[in-house]
Amino acid sequence: MTRAEIYQRITGILVKTFELDPADIRPESRLFEDLDLDSIDAVDMFVELHEVTGRRIDPQAARKIRTVQDIVTLVEAEFASAGVPVDG
Amino acid sequence: MDAPVAYPALREILPHRPPMILIDELLHCGPADVVCGVTVRDGAPFVEGGRISALISLEYFAQTVAALYGYNNRHSDEFKVGMLLGTRDLELRATHFRVGDAFTVTGQEVWSGGQMAQFRCELLRGGAEVVARAAISVLHGSPPGSPTEVRA
């Protein structure tokens, strides 16, 4: 999987699950302030990320997520520790 | 098939009190999956004119998941109060259920982290026909900073 594909998956989840406008989503978008998600939405996000990565997201790492790019970075790290290569 | 387990009455494991315990019995409980049973009865809360709104499914789901936590924490000294945080993909295949309808309610954990978790739940009439399903997000255990109630 490439970085671009991971980003596409994440934005796809955000659009489908939270009915966001794709035009509003950028890597630097802050989930709570810019995209208006809340902590209950975060549960749905973790369920979706679990489905993408097949791994249980570490709650400590999850707590540090602020932006869309943070999610992408987290998913890349999950793939890396699962031994799945992430390309360019 | 599991060996038969004698499960405790729900009032021993739920923080709810009658008449607001809306489900009848715990039928199966694993670490992350649970099955309860309920039959709609005349005189039960929210039953009017021999029927009950299918929206009650949400509370059946919530109490079934509460039974999982209550049963798995039954040896703890504290009653742990939880909360239904929200629901997603609620699908109701009827507007109402009728007095006499017998349901099994299933809950399967799909994610958990800290005190939050999400369960996929189904309501099956006669043990087979899915009449409602949803994903519910819950907080289990008392919210941080809240008073705890000691088990009586």
| pLDDT for position B146 | 64
What residue ranges do the domains of chain A occupy?
A: 3-81
Task: Mark yes or no for CB contact A50/B135 under 8 Å.
Answer: no
**Using 50, 70 and 90 to split pLDDT, how confident is the model at B23?**
very high
Q: Which architecture does CATH list for B18-147? A: Roll (3.10)
pLDDT above 90 for A61? no
Measured CA to CA in angstroms, residue B35 lies from A85, B25, B38, B116 at distances of 40, 9, 10, 20
| pLDDT for position B101 | 98
| pLDDT for position B3 | 67
Highest CATH level, class, for A3-81: mainly alpha
Q: Considering only CA atoms, which of B147, B123, B141, B138 is closest in space to residue B38? A: B123
H-run or E-run covering B69: helix B56-72
Residue in A17, A40, A62 closest to B86 by CB: A40
**Using 50, 70 and 90 to split pLDDT, how confident is the model at A28?**
very high
The model carries a pTM of 0.85
- Contact, A45 vs A13, CB < 8 A? yes
Q: Angle at Cα A77 formed by Cα A24 and Cα A60, nearest 5°?
A: 85
| pLDDT for position B152 | 45
**Using 50, 70 and 90 to split pLDDT, how confident is the model at A63?**
confident
Interatomic CA distance for residues B64 and B108, integer angstroms: 10
Task: Mark yes or no for CB contact A56/B85 under 8 Å.
Answer: no
ipTM of this predicted complex? 0.73
Return the residue matching tokens 């489908």.
A16
Residue in B85, B111, B114 closest to A47 by CB: B111
Give the percent of chain B with pLDDT over 70: 91
Q: Which residue has the higher pLDDT, B118 or A87?
A: B118
Q: Which residue has the higher pLDDT, B150 or B34?
A: B34
- Contact, B59 vs B19, CB < 8 A? no
On chain A, the residues whose CB falls within 8 A of the CB of B116 are 43
What residue ranges do the domains of chain B occupy?
A: 18-147
